[in-house]
Chain A
């Protein structure tokens, strides 16, 4: 079983602060995805990182894939109340013919206080 450990599990910060969420595994993944999930809704894909050492930016969000493709981080600059939600990392396991499965971490529940 390929496990993904996310930390911290809970995070409550003031608007305007910066934060980093970590996703670690002992296994190598072909790629890794980050999702955000709001209450009552399904997860929404934020980014896919594929290459070891890759850095992707999405407005105030910066995603990094570790060199060994075992870990990743999500950094949010100047957090806003709209960033509140459950952040999930998911390792991609290819099952052939263009299909793949996701192994999710337990998530980081972020609350940004105005």
Chain B
């Protein structure tokens, strides 16, 4: 079975541009979360979506937005890119029902801002 897939794997943008990152969860998973991992740090929570509704938002500016589609895939959008947005963006999916089901991470999108 395919794991969580993210695209693109690498991306280079310049300051002020906009970017869209994509995530396909494991088949059957209805919850998708996004994390930002700056070099040398642990991942930091950005958003969580469950059944196409936002269920959680981390401490990130309004330049960051996301959505989840009927097929449970998700997009993360970042507007007006800053140098500090350079990071590995991770998507994780999890199943429903049983509490504390594990989150399965994709390998991330490496975003570099020039």
Contact = CB atoms under 8 A, between A and B. Distances in A.
Interface in A67-96: 88, 90, 92, 94-96
A62 interface: no
Nearest to B88: A42
A99 B50 contact: yes
Interface stretch (A12-20, A53-61, A102-110): A102-110
Nearest to A30: B100
B100 A48 contact: yes
Contacts of B50: 97-99
Contacts, number: 78
Contacts of B108: 41-42
A102 B33 CA distance: 9
Nearest to B31: A99
Interface residues of A, number: 32
Interface residues of B, number: 33
Contacts of A48: 100, 102
Given A42-B4, A104-B44, A98 B102 contact: no
28 contacts: A1-B59, A4-B42, A30-B100, A31-B100, A33-B102, A40-B107, A41-B107, A42-B4, A43-B43, A43-B90, A43-B105, A45-B102, A45-B104, A88-B42, A90-B42, A95-B55, A95-B56, A97-B50, A98-B95, A98-B97, A98-B101, A99-B31, A99-B48, A99-B50, A100-B94, A101-B33, A104-B35, A106-B41
Interface of B: 4, 31, 33, 35, 40-45, 48, 50, 55-56, 58-59, 90, 92, 94-108
